[in-house]
Structure 1
């Protein structure tokens, strides 16, 4: 409606009327002083125009237009762009597709009221970002957010209005909060909207649970790696989590996957879910395959209704070596040598050491039964320390001799009660030991050992290399120089000499050519006689690497598994199975005891299953006189199987590359639960129900549009638009120009016509 309105000066009509009358009186009484009627009329007309303009300025007429409409406001629509929206919603489509359809329908329906409402579209996951509020805004977007923060979405919706009144907030998504809360939750923001009188409308998308939506099978707690020996049986232990599968039997299968990708079934089981939610520990004995590197996959069969299947499988990395070594170490003196020897051998996963101590104070009960420890096939290697032959007994020693003849290894250490002094010269082992023994040196168990005993060589003794052999070869161009640098021995046994037989060799001797280490063969087994028992001195004086290598190489020779004595890279990783965002370090160590052929430069590479090689750039190197370490970080990789390889850059280097397989897995919290939480979104909307807030499914968008439109109509109020003469620059200047123009023209004419 439009009407005319006067706004006199000083808001007083009386003042305006009196001033107007004064203007008219002046106009009538003050007439132009001329008898020329034409001149007179022109001057009166110009004065009348000026008077009219003055009167209009006194009364200030204007037009007033009144209409009813809603004030401008902002509607914020927040859509979920996290990865959980890629999960299925129902049989027809996933959650993202239904959210796209909901937004498109909403955008079209709101076009009719966009003149009074500014629609802002926002995508949220852990953070929120504004999107173009057009119908196809979500077509080119992929939901990739790793976490969902509903509180951040609600808070950002308020901030997005930028000071303009909020018409309401529309929150779409599955309602699952996966991001850790760092401030007030979404409930607090909804309470704020309630206090402001702003409605919150939610559009829950995703299944709310039930007997099938809740179904899930997960394999967990499988060890990351195994070190096995070919043909051995070992236990594979893991946990099976079953949810929503009461009364169902879930097949679980263990598969070997070799380096070429060939799959072999290792074992199969069925896990029966007796309750709706079950966690059951499973242990399955499995026989190790042929030597090599494998992946052991423990996989549960996918069940009908499962939404997330990535947790149905877990992988362990397996290194299988040829024939593991089972060692029985029998000792009579619990001194330093046994302590450091056991520590050295237990460092190697392929050597399984059992220790048996027979103290001297049990002599009254000798021989002590050692169960079936010497039965052929029970152990692969036997170590006899400073233990008297009577402590073991002839029957058990005869079994030991038979075990060696059938392929076991035997090593005898030096000591005061071993070899001839320990009664072995007249025992069943006399023919097994590769040195000649003198039965006349037999020493009583309680007898004192004289300082110049005939069977002892006083120390310190420098062990020197008699001939090169895999047992004594520490690598480098001159193995003898390594032995010269080792600390001297504290003493040794004196033998009558090595036996003259095929396979008998003297590997170490004193500077006077007295044998210190003699090896030989007996039947299908191998034997070694050591005249000393003080190699622990090497470890104590910083030669631990030489100590470990010597004993390992001796054990491997007894097993007929000699290794190349050259330097090797020891590669380790913080973890072999880790999440995409994990910070995993690796370290490669090269220890050298000979003349090190250490490469000047190393390179670390990540090799994908496809064979593509990616260099690792984040690396550093540290070096000492005998050791070089190369460390770095595994780069961020997508889920999958990989190999980390460390090698020298010099292709001609004698050091072989070393590699470790690992797996990058998807452990996203966003994808850990297939169930949406529409109840939570409804609760948020109900907080603002007194202001029109509510929850609508993606199929009820028309009802939501109607509610928003109704809310906008309820917000309508009379809007008055007034245009008063002189208030705006255009009308003000027009009045001024008319008034001054009339007066200036009247004055100019009077001058021209010679009037006063």
Structure 2
């Protein structure tokens, strides 16, 4: 090293090459703050110099004095901010292996490999026992071993025998993200995941895998269990609407999975508490998966947990998946529907009569009797609809549903037509369009904005068209609650027979084609006319019923006096039309299902009277648990999401939680009661076979290897035992280096010399 190199190292305190390998930083602030502070010091130095120069002096004196004083103050400030050199350093250490052990409920399922009925949990305890566990000892010979339990959360554990296997979920993506932060700076030779693969996969898991691959950390997966059970019966899924009206019928779509029981006949039972809502004998198909549509009549109101169950079969691998609990909120509230009719007709009379005894449906009718003359039925007060169809969104959006009868499009102004579109798209209401000579294309709707909301394609108007047809449920319609005319205890064949016995109806609107995404529930066979179709539009639902005289289902001579098909059809149709219409306060999750023992983010959406997002509201939540314990929370509004509020709720025990929400804004107070059900087991016992594909993909994507219990002894040999290099960042202080002191003294000396030279004080 030359003299000049030694001198430079003394001035800088550290070798010059170190500065090329690292970067400069500040311990007490950022460079941005330092620059702003220096600017402020410069302004103060300028003012100070100007005050000291009482007599007129050239600008070069003022600027020179300001520059030198600012330089001196900035150097002093730099020392106070404690500059450091951030330099990466390589430290050789023994490589570590992180082992993620699945601590969820599904680990209690049998491994199914030997006759000793060892569970997946037993395998983990045996293999990873630090005292004599074969895998723990094999890995510990070459690596520092770190054990973690994961389920809904992740935690470092000392011993595998401390795992409880009681967590109701398996979030592997969260566990891998936890490791990234917890083991930052640790030399990782790899990560071992021991699980059955029944994890929450998706984009989050893929993102975690990509980050580990980029960091050069392979993931080795050890799959536990059987990829295919020999004998098992499972209710895989039950789909129900989130809400329904009291005394209505809903259709449950039930998915059943079986292994080894094809051809067997078993009873499917639906319970509400101790009350049997429905029981149906089911013949299990030879295929693995089958779907059953089951109508359920809901006579009682309130939050309900419906219990679906199949009897246990001999030699089943999993016994906890023969049942499911599904939450549904049955509303006992009066749903207001506005029915606009262009002329007196029997359809209006018998529709109103069909739902007259249904306390949860209020059909408010606006009947045109002449030019600007209306007859109003079912109104709440004399001022309601006194000027005809609503002209403001606030007035129209008070209704939960609309029925557009035999009335032409020109009856509505351009603004009212736009409001109809927004009633569907923004307000989320249900709109039912009825057939008639002034409806659909024949009523001029093809050229109106309303046409895009319809579930049917409007052809060229055909005045004078008329067909007598019998409407029957389509294959999709037979699975829908709307088509359930028979008793819920009758089977699908009995229900179809009810439809076949109904008289023909008249169609004057020839509609043959539904829009993409629309569902056709009723159809005539010859000609192939659409009878009833619906589609989602925005937040709402648009329904087209092309028949103009369904009243014949009650009044035709061939219909028995005690036949209730017409009444049942209209009660079902109107109840379904408004069952999912949103309120001004909406709560997620819409399914009403969370996990017991977990922390859940609860999003709440609030809208104003025009159903636009309501910002700036004060939102309070009172959460009442199954045992009566309460949580009081404030819900802040989410940034960049107007009208969206959220908070994290804790559901420590299983059962039904009541959510009492109060929102205050602009002097208006809104209230809503909602419910969530905290499940003790979640999805842990469903699809509980070894999901080998998930684990294989994770290992492949990160450069690791997939193992099973049969070849687990090769796991330790697959991980490279070479010492690893951990990259750490060293901080070297620079505030006391000689160069800074010399520069500070030089700046002060130059200031003194400049003032003497220019004759300044």
Q: TM-score normalised by the shorter chain: which range applies?
A: 0.3 to 0.5
Please, what TM-score do these two structures have when normalized by structure 1? 0.41
Please, what TM-score do these two structures have when normalized by structure 2? 0.41
Structure number, greater radius of gyration: 1
